[in-house]
Structure 1
């Protein structure tokens, strides 16, 4: 039967289904193989079908009348959804030097495999995007409001690497104009989703306008390597249920399919195809084997193994630089809140930014 899969050769997907291998050596995949809809274990490629017709499907929900996402790690047929892959839970590597070396090798191999034709790099000056910038011969793009942390960090980070960076300076008009198209693409109006996706969408629009059709992004590094404060504070942070750093990291990784669906749809709507080297199976596999103290040190330093591995290519001031999440570092979150209040949606109102977003798309 016909195969139509994004992200991987159909033969690899068939073998992964037969063996139950969740990390068969791809950067994610989704599509139709032998009459079945399939989506990889981390949901790195979006996939949808009509609610009542699994034979009508698309990578873009806008193509369907009543789209329902195929869950990550599942096969969908007319009979329903069946989980075929679960993320591995290996024992931690006992030798820290061996663990860091394995991460370094996996990152090196993944980045070495990225073709640079038509490629640009989304750059914010943090360790994730700096790795991409140092290893990929492609122009760097940064996005944010003129006084934002991300633009300052991108400029200083690019200087440290001896590179130029092209900046996309935002204003209120750019945010308001982008919201309807972004919401149409991702199918969501909740404030957090829109705040995270807006800077990606806007930098991608500039990248596409400049003639590039692929954008390298550092997505996944925070989830894989323990970049979140709530992971570092486990078990004392109420935002996670796990009682260890490794358990909290795994819990956070469970949010990746939803996040990646949002980001991929936003980037494609802006005119570029995302490239996420740090989410390749080989990197995922080595990250999962890290002990807790190589995710977060006893001093609270996050993404420790990735930072140590990154010293192969980055100066320490970039490898160990702390950076804000994109919605805060770019000031998009702050300025969207400001726009909402100027439009009469006050903070005392329930979820006032979401209400403002919905008013822009009505």
Structure 2
């Protein structure tokens, strides 16, 4: 995990890249490296998780990678490569294809087609820069492009705050996109790595639960390291992950935060005890004064004053902070379970309109999860130099989830809805029944953070009756701290 950045076609690409990397120091406190060729420069800040390979990797071309390739050992074995670095495996595969005559975009695209991982990367060769992002968009990547001038220009970075205030029209590279930019003529070419819904569906309950449990178990296993923790709220998503992780690593730590006596702290303690993981749970009481003090950091991290993003980002920020203080560098979360298995109340309405409507909305949720949730979560965890990992958004878990018929995701019994039904069935036998069917509050309400934001906004003089009082308060905080230039 790290931060990546680069520039081409600018007056001083090397200085531009170094300035952007300085703004991304929180993403990689362990090392910083750059590569420069005529007309372009790329670089990264490194947070060491897998291997000890400095970046950029340089051969015929140069590669920088933000993220993790979870099946790199299998890929290395297939190619006879001996290394403990996922970046080196990826680089070797791309370079081999280049030597066989493939274009840079085709070499990167065909390599990534066989990858299971969360990543954003840049590969530079001669006069081309190839940018790529994982199919769901777990890892962020933004760029600014000017290819309608005599000398085409491009800048890219892991976060928008790294760009110069003079740069406009900063856009995210869409999830699953591989894009090449020619720095001589400004020509663009794109390919798509998106995960497509399968044609064959799984309609049997037992079969679906079995396949899902197996896929999720593997997804958890390949994401665990000796310095991993789990963001734990006591709901079905995080408790299922915790139980699977415990079967692999009995020393796994669980982290829960909330105001004193808040729903999430009470539920986390109850769930940890019921799942026989009481000794693994580490709780942190957060006080209103701490929340108020952290708001500028979370606004800066998320580059937003959207009330929902801040209300959800704050608890995860404190979870990541607690895990970091406990020596952890990796944090697993249950993000993606609600989108993939119909966990929101709005999914009930889609279910009533018909299975095909619910199916369509689930696909839409997965397609849009990066902009809605993942970029926020990545940035608040990386503000604490902690890497976010999301087993529910593993490539095989997504394929399995999309294959499961929507009728198994929402069930209606005696006039009541059971959301995420098949996920609960997959956890049956691993978790006690009192946890399987229990509903949980959304994190901003369960931790008490929403209530604190409401009070802070009213205390700052913003009337709830006039509407948008929390957003007005957050915009004032951003303005007071000079963050206006990064707010999207």
Distance 2:443 2:189 in 1: 34
> How far is 1:220 from its partner?
0.8
> How far is 1:84 from its partner?
1.1
TM-score using structure 1 length: 0.91
Q: How does 1:231-250 map to 2 (within 5 A)?
A: 231-234=347-350, 244-250=357-363
Larger radius of gyration: 2
In structure 2, the residue matched to 1:208 is: 324
Flag the 1:112–1:235 CA change in 2: closer, same or farther, 3 A: closer
Runs of 5+ in structure 1 lacking a partner? Answer: none
Post-superposition CA distance 1:21-67 (Å, at most 9, x none): 5xx45232211135310112210111122344775322233322244
Q: How does 1:166-205 map to 2 (within 5 A)?
A: 166-205=282-321
In structure 1, the residue matched to 2:75 is: none
Q: How does 1:97-136 map to 2 (within 5 A)?
A: 97-136=206-245
Q: How does 1:298-317 map to 2 (within 5 A)?
A: 298-299=412-413, 300-317=417-434
> How far is 1:160 from its partner?
0.8
In structure 1, the residue matched to 2:344 is: 228
In structure 1, the residue matched to 2:116 is: 26
Contact 2:227–2:330 (CA under 8 A) maintained in structure 1:
yes
Distance 2:472 2:335 in 1: 28
Distance 1:54 1:118 in 2: 40
Distance 2:463 2:276 in 1: 45
Q: Secondary structure at the match of 1:97?
A: helix
Contact 2:175–2:194 (CA under 8 A) maintained in structure 1:
no
Q: Secondary structure at the match of 1:318?
A: helix
Q: How many residues align?
A: 357
In structure 2, the residue matched to 1:82 is: 190
In structure 2, the residue matched to 1:61 is: 160
Flag the 1:55–1:117 CA change in 2: closer, same or farther, 3 A: farther
In structure 1, the residue matched to 2:135 is: 41
Q: How does 1:287-326 map to 2 (within 5 A)?
A: 287-299=401-413, 300-326=417-443
> How far is 1:148 from its partner?
1.6
Post-superposition CA distance 1:103-132 (Å, at most 9, x none): 111011112223331112111001111122
RCO comparison, higher one (Cα < 8 Å, 6+): 1
> How far is 1:134 from its partner?
1.6
Select between 5-14 and 220-229 the one with higher mean Cα deviation: 5-14
Q: 2:457 aligns with which of 312, 333, 340?
A: 340
Flag the 1:236–1:95 CA change in 2: closer, same or farther, 3 A: closer
In structure 2, the residue matched to 1:149 is: 263
TM-score using structure 2 length: 0.68
Contact 1:47–1:69 (CA under 8 A) maintained in structure 2:
yes
More strand by share: 2
